[in-house]
Amino acid sequence: MIDALLGCLMAGLIVIKFGGGLITKKQSMCTPNIPVIEKLAKTVAELIQSRHNVIIVHGAGSFGHLKAKKWQLHLGRVTDNLPKEEGEISSQDEAIHSVRQDMLTLNGIVCDILQSHGIETSTHPPHIWAQEIGPQFEGDVARFASGNSVVNVTFGDVVKCSGPTEFGILSGDDICYRIGDELGATHVVFAMGGASGLLTSPPDTPNSKLIPIWHPGYSFVGEHKSEMDVTGGIHLKLERSAELSKSVEHVWIVDGEQPERILELLSTGITTGTRILPESP
């Protein structure tokens, strides 16, 4: 009876994407940004205390993108333009294993910090439960519907693919889309680093301004760091966010270095950041 009552008192499902460029120092191989992760964990703890059900998806940053790009894992099985050898890695198969281990290491860091704030976590590595890439990847996201105080955590990963490609990179943004849409999230928040939200032009551009509301058809100059990114960058995020906003009322991009804005959004319905809508309001 008490468990049933507590279940009724649970607030909505909140899906939070910890951007890879937010929780790692993206230019340095396998370097976490511990102070930022600590602040995010404190925010998640407050959400749990307010009886929100939280699911976390995190990016790879320097724990995945640099190595995956060098070995062209985003292209699947290829033979041309591969490095001859890089340390203990001499093939795409070895690179896959290495990237997966790096992602488990980053996930362990994130979960250890969450647990230090009293949050029980459960990790779901995509290479175990999912295959194929893109928003229609094969994998049952019902595994994340715990509906209790356990925070389920997953991340972008190298997964198996059918056909000659054999493998590919399943983006955390695609996972966010499926979880938010299929599990009925009230909020999906993309916490990114280096900007207050979506900007009219890259953050280091003079006169760059925050776009408070974005919808398909609203033009902006997006920055895609193709030399390291292997999942589509901000353009993929916006594409998935716009589609997601058709079923989820609140889809936002916020500054993850100011995670108190997530709390403000949950309590007031608005914050500094970019709200994503399916069409012009």
Q: What's the pLDDT tens digit per position in 166-197?
A: 999 999 999 999 999 999 999 999 999 989 99
Average pLDDT of every residue of the chain: 90
Mean pLDDT of 198-225: 82
Q: What integer pLDDT is reported at residue 232 of this predicted model?
A: 66
- How do the domains of the chain map onto residue ranges? 2-276
Q: What integer pLDDT is reported at residue 202 of this predicted model?
A: 80
Distance, in Å, from the CA atom of 99 to the CA atom of 90, rounded to the nearest integer, reads 13
Domain 2-276 has CATH 3.30.1390.10: no
| Cβ–Cβ under 8 Å, residues 166 and 131 | no
pLDDT over 70 at 82, yes or no: yes
Q: Crossing angle, helix 34-49 and helix 92-116, to 10 degrees?
A: 50
Distance, in Å, from the CA atom of 124 to the CA atom of 157, rounded to the nearest integer, reads 11
pLDDT in tens, 228-269: 556 667 888 999 999 999 999 999 999 999 999 999 999 999
Q: What integer pLDDT is reported at residue 206 of this predicted model?
A: 83
Q: What integer pLDDT is reported at residue 223 of this predicted model?
A: 59
pLDDT band at 221 (very low <50, low <70, confident <90, very high): low
pLDDT band at 162 (very low <50, low <70, confident <90, very high): very high
Q: What integer pLDDT is reported at residue 27 of this predicted model?
A: 77
pLDDT over 80 at 278, yes or no: yes
Name 253's Cβ contacts closer than 8 Å, sequence gap at least 6.
Answer: 189, 190, 192, 197, 198, 237, 241, 273, 274, 276
Distance, in Å, from the CA atom of 215 to the CA atom of 61, rounded to the nearest integer, reads 26
Torsion-angle region of 140 (φ positive above 0: left; ψ -120 to 50: alpha; else: beta): beta
pLDDT in tens, 10-63: 568 999 999 999 999 877 889 999 999 999 999 999 999 999 999 999 999 989
Give percent of the chain above pLDDT 90.
Answer: 76
Name 10's Cβ contacts closer than 8 Å, sequence gap at least 6.
Answer: 51, 52, 53, 147
pLDDT over 70 at 7, yes or no: no
Give percent of the chain above pLDDT 70.
Answer: 91
pLDDT over 90 at 102, yes or no: yes
pLDDT band at 153 (very low <50, low <70, confident <90, very high): very high
Q: What integer pLDDT is reported at residue 231 of this predicted model?
A: 67
Name 13's Cβ contacts closer than 8 Å, sequence gap at least 6.
Answer: 52, 53, 54, 55, 183, 184, 185, 186, 187
| Cβ–Cβ under 8 Å, residues 50 and 266 | yes
* Of residues 101, 97, 91, the one with CA closest to residue 60: 101
